[in-house]
Structure 1
Amino acid sequence: MRIDAHQHFWIFDAERDAWITDDMSAIRKNFLPTDLGPVLKSNGIDGVVAVQASQSHEETQFLVDLSTMYAMIKGVVGWVDLQSAEVEKHLTYFKQFPIIKGFRHVIEAEEDPDFLIRPAFLQGIRQLTAFGYTYDLLIRPRHYASTLVCVAQNPGQRFVLDHMAKPAIKAGEFDAWAAFMEKLASFPNVYCKISGLVTEADWNRWTVSDFKRYITHAVRCFGAERVMFGTDWPVCLVAASYADVMSIAGHGVSGFSQDERDAFWGGNAVRFYNL
């Protein structure tokens, strides 16, 4: 299968979705599977991993409910309060839905650089490991150090890095990000999504070549067996079309063998998320 390992659905709510600012008018509206279906078909994508976009248990249930109606959803990455004393109870409830493959917290919105190594959060990660769930890492540079500590303390947990840690492509920053990627990739239980890059570039004047060295470095660090394709649709629409995002990724992995391409465009996501 060809899998988009990272996309979102939402019924737009201006208060809840305040992160969708006025300059992102293209996505200040509803996005549901009926909107995505024709796009997947025209781009040759067989299924998706639907990832949480807001932080509530209701959001997780919303994605589960969509999956019962739309076969395109092959897996769900939901949200659960990992710092709650009742996290085990919540995970026990969610375990009845095999479509849920893992969970995510929007760490990038947390000002605390050590959020990932708070004792309560680490206890939540240990619960994910016990239940066999994955965890998506969504971070910013201030979280680099704590991310490495968190991963080092949880060698049995399957992690995947969202959006290649969002390198500052528009500003051309590279070295600190590149060093972090090398350190993170040294942990064999961490995968990396080649996703969400176009919104880190100049939205109006990016070129495909802007992304090449970043993708090349990520692949060099993680290897072809631990990288997977994702679009971050519909967020990507503020800067590019679905086809544009596929082109950026394809250009970045143009040197892959056929087996490596098959793994990148779907096989690695199927294996990581157990789709």
Structure 2
Amino acid sequence: MTGVDHGPGIVDAHHHVWDLSVRDQDWITGPELAPLRRDFTLADLAPEARAAGVTATVLVQTITAAEETPEFLAVAAHSDLVAGVVGWTDLTAPDVADTLAGLRAVPGGEHLVGMRHQVQGEPDPRWLVLPEALRGLTAIAGAGLVYDLVVRPHQLAAAIDAAQRLPGLTFVLDHLGKPPIASGELAPWAERIRRLAALPNTVCKLSGMVTEADWNSWTVDDLRPYADTVLDAFGPGRLMFGSDWPVCRLAATYAEVVAAAREMTAGLSPAERHDVFTGTAVRTYGLTLTAPPDPPQDTPPQDTPCA
């Protein structure tokens, strides 16, 4: 599907870049992740994104290094593709508010739209509601930013608790909370998703699904029950598309990820698809696009993509 015009105005609300000569990505270990052990730059992403009809993106942090966020903001300052950056800072530090103000002052600081931390790697499943973490989340809300949640299903209870305690902060759930797609299990993930979605200050990304499925044999039918769950729970107005490039490349091409998302949302109205592929990301992150986006155009049904 590369090279096909899918219609203007898509926002890819979740992707990464890295340069291993600048900083190691210490999470890329073992033979399964070996395809990711190389540089991935905007120059690599841009042609694939443009071919899929993507006109703006959100660049998301990869590691817990304070230097990465100002680097990403500089990337955004010189890019006509990156409209927003979700960065990282030590959420538990007492000077979070000062750090956020400093990031706003660096070149590209106006592109800072949110923060996140790899909570998925924290051994304490209640990490998000530790007093020092809640203090940091309060500072993020005070700065007018959103908070991206990268958690696993067993950590969703703490995410629900944090969102209840901080109604003034918008929480964006990355990758549907990483459901066990490969095993086909829905419970207890689905029930926790519905509880999170019941809170009005929560949003979900339709992202990261192919790498939670069987990398070598997934089909859209494998993904659909999970997509249907978040569509029903959050609604299109609180759901946004993200590619999770280049991590998605472990299981699918960029074009296949976009095609799968289109197939899973084919039953929505044009206005609802516009929310998923553009409107929700623009509203949630406060993105400024270079041109008013049009709703994504319908495309003929595609063969079910697989890695």
TM-score, with length taken from structure 1: 0.97
For residue 44 of structure 2, the aligned residue among 31, 35, 42 is 35
Matches of residues 217-228 of structure 1 in structure 2 within 5 Å? 217-228=229-240
Aligned to 1:206: 218
C-alpha deviation, 1:253, in angstroms: 0.9
In 1, the alpha carbon distance for the partners of 2:62 and 2:219 equals 27
**What letter corresponds to residue 240 of structure 2 in structure 1?**
M
Aligned to 2:138: 126
Aligned to 1:115: 127
For residue 7 of structure 1, the aligned residue among 6, 12, 15 is 15
Partner SS state of residue 103, structure 1: strand
Deviations 1:196-253 (A, max 9, x none): 0000000001111100111011000001110000000000001100011112111111
For residue 259 of structure 2, the aligned residue among 238, 244, 247 is 247
C-alpha deviation, 1:13, in angstroms: 6.3
For residue 52 of structure 1, the aligned residue among 51, 61, 66 is 61
**What letter corresponds to residue 3 of structure 1 in structure 2?**
V
In 2, the alpha carbon distance for the partners of 1:72 and 1:141 equals 32
Aligned to 2:300: none
Q: Is the 8 A contact 1:139 1:166 kept in 2?
A: yes
For residue 157 of structure 1, the aligned residue among 146, 165, 169 is 169
Q: Is the 8 A contact 2:197 2:233 kept in 1?
A: yes
Q: Is the 8 A contact 2:77 2:111 kept in 1?
A: no
For residue 146 of structure 1, the aligned residue among 131, 153, 158 is 158
For residue 19 of structure 1, the aligned residue among 23, 27, 45 is 27
In 2, the alpha carbon distance for the partners of 1:91 and 1:127 equals 8
Aligned to 1:135: 147
CA RMSD of the aligned region, Å?
A: 1.3
Deviations 1:171-202 (A, max 9, x none): 11111010001000000110000000000000
**What letter corresponds to residue 67 of structure 1 in structure 2?**
A
Higher normalized helix content (fraction of residues): 1
For residue 230 of structure 1, the aligned residue among 230, 242, 246 is 242
Identity %: 39
Deviations 1:126-164 (A, max 9, x none): 001111000000001221221111111000101110000
Q: Is the 8 A contact 1:212 1:251 kept in 2?
A: no
In 2, the alpha carbon distance for the partners of 1:55 and 1:114 equals 19
In 1, the alpha carbon distance for the partners of 2:156 and 2:75 equals 34
Q: Is the 8 A contact 1:185 1:221 kept in 2?
A: yes
4+ runs deviating over 3 angstroms? 13-16
In 2, the alpha carbon distance for the partners of 1:203 and 1:14 equals 29
Q: Is the 8 A contact 2:12 2:241 kept in 1?
A: yes
In 2, the alpha carbon distance for the partners of 1:121 and 1:19 equals 23
Partner SS state of residue 4, structure 1: strand
Pairs aligned (count)? 275
Q: Is the 8 A contact 1:16 1:54 kept in 2?
A: no
Matches of residues 62-141 of structure 1 in structure 2 within 5 Å? 62-96=71-105, 97-141=109-153
**What letter corresponds to residue 257 of structure 1 in structure 2?**
S
